[in-house]
Amino acid sequence: MKNFSVTVIFENGKMVPVSFELNNREYEVKRIPIVFERIDGGRKYLCFGVDTGGALVELRLDRENLQFTVCNFQPV
């Protein structure tokens, strides 16, 4: 995905996304109501359901190559 990056911090031994940039726009993560694991085609992903205050977004981290993707972007 072009023009996409995620900023994370490590807090109490856990990775926490704090913002992401998508299509040259920066979004601040206001809260993370859900974190879950997904297996798709034999690959393992760590998924963060994040709320930006204007959209609900699923950020998916591929555990093999440590790359994030946006799987779902729902403006509210």
User: Structural domain of residue 64, as residue ranges?
Assistant: 4-75
One digit per residue, pLDDT tens: the chain, 76 residues?
Answer: 557 899 999 999 999 999 999 989 999 999 999 999 999 999 999 999 999 999 999 999 999 999 999 999 999 8
E strand or H helix that includes residue 2: none
pLDDT of 2 reads 59
Please count the residues of the chain.
76
Q: Model pTM greater than 0.85?
A: yes
Alpha carbon of residue 1 to chain centroid: 13
Find all residues with CB under 8 Å of 2, minimum gap 6, and list them.
none
Partners of 36 in the beta sheet?
A: 47
Joined together, the tokens standing for residue 71 give: 């799987």
Domain count within the chain = 1
